[in-house]
Chain A
Amino acid sequence: MSDREAIDPGPPTYPEPTVPALAVEGLSHRYGATPALVDVAFAIQPSEFAVLLGPNGAGKTTLFSLITRLYNNLSGSIRIFGLEVRRWPSQALARIGVVFQQPAIDLDLTVAQNLRYHASLHGMGRDAARKRMTAELGRLGMVERAGEKVRQLSGGQRRRVEIARALMHQPRLLLLDEPTVGLDIAARQGIIDHVRRLCAEQDMAVLWATHLIDEVGPGDRVVVLHEGRVQAFGGVDDVVRGAGAGGLGEAYATLTRKDRE
């Protein structure tokens, strides 16, 4: 087993560099009669940092649930490095790291036990897991805290451990659903800087969902989602220009107005 992939890539050949990290096309979903996503389409290139921007209830969590196949999309397609999620769920999921909105970490287990559990879910062996754990905790400067229970860590540290966990199997696409919720300003900034650094250093695509425009950086790709529809997609400048606004704040306000068609 190579160090890079925990799970065998399966029948499709290894993705070419030109294939988008994430390509969503014509994606619609509803709960009963209530539409949650309507004809959503966008793409993220490898090693791109993309922000999924939208107010609460815009459909961000639904979109994440569909990308990670918590449930199946009703129509449209989702491709991870060219792999259709519904058709190749295992191969697609092996390439994704996910950090959910709600903390999903065992507080009564140690940092190391949490990371090892995740590694085993990805079929990683003991040695590979240890190597990866040292690397990821080293990046956080937390190697010596591996034996501590997660409960003893601060909110910001817990989030970092969750991010480290999502990176254990070296995914090429990292999804984060409002990862800074509930953190103070300093911890929030710390997480943002950390993930941006990872994106640059690890040659990894990132999809970062948030409702806070100050989490958007100047070079980011932006997907503005409102009431289940993509209102704008492109670089920050394109989105601002497209909305005929003076800045991203104004553009976001215009694009997510309640009466907007």
Chain B
Amino acid sequence: MTAMHYIRCLEGIVVRECRRFLNQRSRFIAALVRPLVWLFIFAAGFRMVLGVSIIPPYETYVLYEVYITPGLIAMIQLFNGMQSSLSMVYDREMGSMKTLLVSPLPRWYLLTCKLLAGVAVSILQVYVFLAIAAFWDIQAPPRGYLALLPALALSGLMMGALGMLLSSAIKQLENFAGVMNFVIFPMFFASSALYPLWRVKESSLLLYYVCAYNPFTHAVEVIRFALYGHLNGLSLLYVAAALVVFLGLAIYGYDPARGLIQRKGRTDA
């Protein structure tokens, strides 16, 4: 097997995922409307309630809308990661996951390609969101938009890997609603997406620690710093470590020898 085989395979999987996403117009719109509702309604309402002091990477007082934008970017990726995993559960029920898994390249590679395809879709969503937000005067320095790209790739991979891990463990589609409630909402709210951690610390030390160890917090911070052309090294490492752990477990979950897919085999037997 040559490198060319690997590249063609990656290209094929990414193209398919993007086509599917663009075909599902409702999914595209939903993916955009969700963060925009938060931005235009929630943030506008809370602007007066929550004051944000000057904390890095901001060099001046910022509006609440500006503060939560990185959190909303991370939310887009979180939803997208979960949605790709939903599509993997769906694919598995519909059999197209089998088509992927019985192709000759190694399984870890196929899963990584699938992950990268999901990340590509999420990056597309984020930039469309930022373009709309720019009209609302939420603008970052030009180099920030550029620096954001690698940050999005990393955070998208981490959340996609988490979704893939969950998809290997979820038996059926019906269980997915529970995952939305037990994964997406706690991860989002117990993070620095909506309020700075020093504020959380004031009200509850325990909650502060939960937030501080939540990988989603670090994804938000990597994105926040990148958007202003800065690097948050600690968060970057934390996200990278979480990616390695989640991806490793997901590949283990789909491993033909030990994996969880085996138990599910029974249901389609």
Contact = CB atoms under 8 A, between A and B. Distances in A.
- B5, B11, B101, B105: most-surrounded residue (chain A CB, <10 A): B5
Chain B contact patch, size range: 35 or more
Mostly, the A contact residues are loop
Interface string B246-269: 000000000011010111011011
B210 to A, nearest CB: 36
A7 B104 contact: yes
Interface string B80-109: 000000000000001110111111111000
13 contacts: A31-B263, A36-B269, A59-B269, A61-B269, A62-B265, A102-B95, A108-B24, A117-B15, A117-B16, A121-B103, A121-B105, A122-B9, A123-B1
Of A36, A93, A96, A120, chain B has the most CB atoms within 10 Å of the CB of A120
B261 A106 contact: no
Interface string A85-101: 00001110110101011
A219 B15 CA distance: 44
B102 to A, nearest CB: 4
B13 interface: yes
Interface in B220-264: 256-257, 259, 261-263
Interface residues of A, number: 44
Interface stretch (A66-74, A208-216, A239-247): A66-74
B8 A123 contact: yes
Contact of B102 (A8, A93, A103, A123): A93
Question: Which 7 A-B residue pairings sit nearest by Cβ, starting from the closest?
Answer: A120-B12, A123-B5, A104-B95, A121-B103, A102-B95, A93-B104, A94-B104
A69 B19 contact: no
Interface of B: 1-2, 4-6, 8-9, 11-13, 15-16, 19-20, 23-24, 94-96, 98-106, 110, 256-257, 259, 261-263, 265-266, 268-269
B94 A123 contact: no
A65 B265 contact: yes
B105 A70 contact: no
Given A31-B263, A109-B20, A68 B12 contact: no
B269 A104 contact: no
Given A36-B269, A62-B265, A102-B268, A121 B20 contact: no
A204 B82 CA distance: 41
Contacts of B12: 116-117, 119-121
A70 B262 CA distance: 8
Given A61-B269, A71-B265, A109-B19, A120 B102 contact: no
B103 to A, nearest CB: 4
B102 A7 contact: no
Contacts of A91: 104
Nearest to B95: A104
Given A70-B102, A89-B104, A93-B102, 13 more contacts: A31-B263, A36-B269, A69-B102, A69-B256, A71-B262, A91-B104, A100-B95, A116-B12, A118-B103, A121-B100, A123-B2, A124-B8, A125-B4
B257 A72 contact: yes
Contacts of A104: 94-96, 98-99
A190 interface: no
A105 interface: yes
Interface residue SS majority, chain B: helix
Contacts of A147: none
A134 interface: no
Given A102-B94, A104-B94, A7 B9 contact: no
Given A62-B269, A70-B265, A98 B95 contact: no
A61 B268 contact: yes
A31 B262 contact: yes
Contacts of B265: 31, 61-62, 65, 70-71
A10 B5 CA distance: 14
B104 A122 contact: yes
Interface string A68-86: 1111100000000000000
A94 to B, nearest CB: 4
B9 A106 contact: no
A70 B110 CA distance: 13
B99 A8 contact: no
B131 to A, nearest CB: 26
Nearest to B93: A102
Nearest to A114: B16
Contacts of B20: 106, 108-109
A120 B16 CA distance: 10
B96 A123 contact: no
A113 B16 contact: yes
Contacts of A101: 95, 268
Contacts of B269: 31, 36, 57, 59, 61-62
Contacts of B19: 109, 113
